[in-house]
Amino acid sequence: MRGILAAGAAAAVVLTSGGAADAAGYPRYKAPKIFGTTFQPDPKHDFTKGIHSRRNGILRGWITGVRGGTAEYVPIRWTKGSHTPGNFVAPREGHVGAYASPVAKNVVFLSAYGCKATMSNLTVSRKTGLGAKSCSRAALIKRHGTNPHPSLITVHKGRIVKVQEIYTP
């Protein structure tokens, strides 16, 4: 009996430690380079069928608008500046490369600037430069629905399940 309990406990530890799946119920996807200088391709996406969800994974991008719980988002890339360290840019005007996905009810939003509208408190991981403060879905929609913020956007089964802001000074 002890052997069975020990084996069950060991299996539970393996399952909850994030081996194949994240604690939020979706797989861990490989993150892109935070300050990557190219747009992430999506070769299997058919942009001729109108704006729809990106495939499962993590996109370095920003949300351009939120309507009725559905977010539109585009890929972004880092460009080095001549007088500044640089900035993120989206594809040029008229480029067909936008996506739209519903924001999951239990979305994980990790802010780099705090949950308040003032965005005065830095809540960024010094190690990664990514947001570390968990905020509500409402805070995500309010902030990202009006102004684009560079983020890592995780899509799973057609829904945005995680948004982690990228800190840019």
Identify the pLDDT of residue 102. 96
User: 139 by DSSP, 3-state: which?
Assistant: helix
> Token digits for 27?
């797989």
Phi-psi region of 25 (alpha: psi -120 to 50; beta: other; left: phi over 0): left
Tens of pLDDT along the chain (169 residues)?
333 333 333 333 333 333 333 446 788 999 999 999 999 888 777 777 778 888 899 999 999 999 999 999 999 999 988 788 889 999 887 677 789 999 999 999 999 988 886 667 888 888 899 999 999 999 999 988 888 899 999 999 999 999 999 998 7
Domain edges within the chain: 47-165
- Bridge partners for 70 per DSSP: 67, 102
Q: Please, which residues have CB within 8 angstroms of residue 74's CB and are 6 or more apart in sequence?
A: 61, 62, 64, 90, 91, 97, 98, 99
